Amino acid sequence: MAGNLARGARAALAALLLLCIALPAQAITLIRDPDIEYSLRKLAAPVLTAAGLSPGNIRVLIVRDDKLNAFVVDSRHILIHSGLLLRMNRAEELQAVLAHEAAHIANGHITRRLSNQRVASNAAKFGLLLSLAAGAATGNAEAAAGIALGTSSSAQRLFFAHTRAEEASADQAALRYMAMRGIDPTAMNDVLDLFRGQELLTPGRQDPYVRTHPLTRDRIRAVKGYVAAYKNRTKDDPTADYWFLRAKGKLGAFLRNPGWTLRRIDKNDTSDIARMRRAVAYHRIPDRARAVAEINRLAVQRPGDPYILDLKGQILLESKDFRGAVAAYGAAVNAAPNEPLILAGYGRALLALKTADGNRRALNALERARSRDTQDPRMMRDLAVAYAKTGNNGMASLATAERYALLGNLETAAVHAKRAEGLLPRGSPGWNRAQDVLNAARSAGKRRK
């Protein structure tokens, strides 16, 4: 089993690296937060299941961008712009978008493009490489990393753009998925209303969604017809409302001005979402005393919630209370032992202790994180530090090489991979991973020529 897992991880890395940049890339920021991603998983699960897809195999991720967009890059990732999520008013609207993108996956729209050798080659040149960083967006890049999607917007549109036939198929399938799960289909109309009039603008002024998802009068008319057929199959789901408001509330608290956030929370509102938003806003001001007081109240209000404990750990770590952060992250890990972003945060806090025992424990936590998420450059940086501090310079070089590869910088990745190759036993799993990086760098170099 372990050998199969190791081969699977190498194959996944190699597949990602084959999509690395051959042209200079323009970084697009992803926001990685375990709480937000868990909320998105809860919201996506019903429509993914209805589409015949496994919720455990598909990630829903947030791109930090005020423009309105949502898209799929392969059969395993759905990306939603933060601007679109923050513009939505209810869970069903987000589920309508997720259902539509799931339909593109289920109907094979992306797979057919990737299976075409010419388009796959172009995709590699456009830098279709996901690089996912841990943390939450506090302005210090804790939550952000680039995903290299290339500098040519016209090239991106060529790859991501759906045909009118694909859009019609995805709309019809999405509404069928929603009906199967009792999700209000009128939400699809509400989403399309966000883009009304966009098709009349010049391409440079349109939101990306309209450029990649053709919006026509015929499409809107067809959706209204489908909605009318399905509208009596709905049921209320307060759980979906909660997870939507929690994801939107935390995202907005991190991205918007703290004063704006605090002004919009009723002083008498003691709900857990209100407390979470206050804690984040105070932390970003920064007002350490109020942030810690609010997160402590929240932890009492939702005992054992791993994502609240993770936020507490982050606030304490960034406030330089390293021992408090280790305790909070440790409790979060106990509550959610398989959550890689929480494990990564725990490792980061342990490294901050700057003790031999802390370094050893950090290495253990970070290795566990990497075994569950091989695409996290921030975690890879911390893992490299942990290896170096525990005397394993070969693995430190390898982790650094993989981090640069995930960020699309294959030239620098190759330098560190070459160093790892010389330090690690020939034929060992680490040595083989270094070969993957070196081979990807050589392939990218040939494409440039």
Q: What is the pLDDT averaged over residues 222-250?
A: 89
Asked if the structure places residue 86 within a domain, the reply is yes
Residue 182 lies in a domain: yes
Which residues 6+ apart lie within 8 Å of 32 measured at CB?
Answer: 61, 132, 133, 134, 135, 136, 143, 144, 145, 341, 376, 378
Q: Report pLDDT digits (tens) over 332-389.
A: 999 999 999 999 999 999 999 999 999 999 999 999 999 998 877 899 999 999 999 9
Average pLDDT, the chain: 83
Whether 294 maps to a domain, the answer reads no
Q: Is residue 172 part of a domain?
A: yes
How far apart are the C-alpha atoms of 79 and 59, rounded to whole Å? 8
pLDDT digits (tens, 9 = 90+) for 4-22: 434 444 444 443 443 333 2
Nearest to 186 by CA among 237, 244, 126, 229: 229
Q: Cβ atoms within 10 A of the Cβ of 180, count?
A: 16
What torsion do the CA atoms of 141, 22, 102, 236 make, to the nearest 10 degrees? 10
What is the total count of domains within the chain? 1
Q: Judge whether 329 lies within some domain.
A: no
Q: Is the pLDDT of residue 122 over 60?
A: no
Q: How far are the Cα atoms of 192, 257, 299, 374 from residue 184, in angstroms, in the given order?
A: 14, 33, 33, 37
CA 312 vs. chain centroid, Å, equals 21
Kindly state the DSSP code that residue 448 receives in the 8-state scheme. Answer: H
Domain span holding position 134: 15-230
Q: How many beta carbons lie within 10 A of that of residue 191, not counting itself?
A: 23
Any domain includes 311: no
Would 82 be classed as within a structural domain? yes
- The answer on pLDDT for 283 being more than 80 is yes
How much is the pLDDT for 302? 97
The β-bridge relationship of strands 59-63 and 77-81 is: parallel
pTM beyond cutoff 0.75: yes
CATH number at residue 178: 3.30.2010.10
pLDDT top residue among 3 and 225: 225
The verdict on residue 348 lying in a domain is no
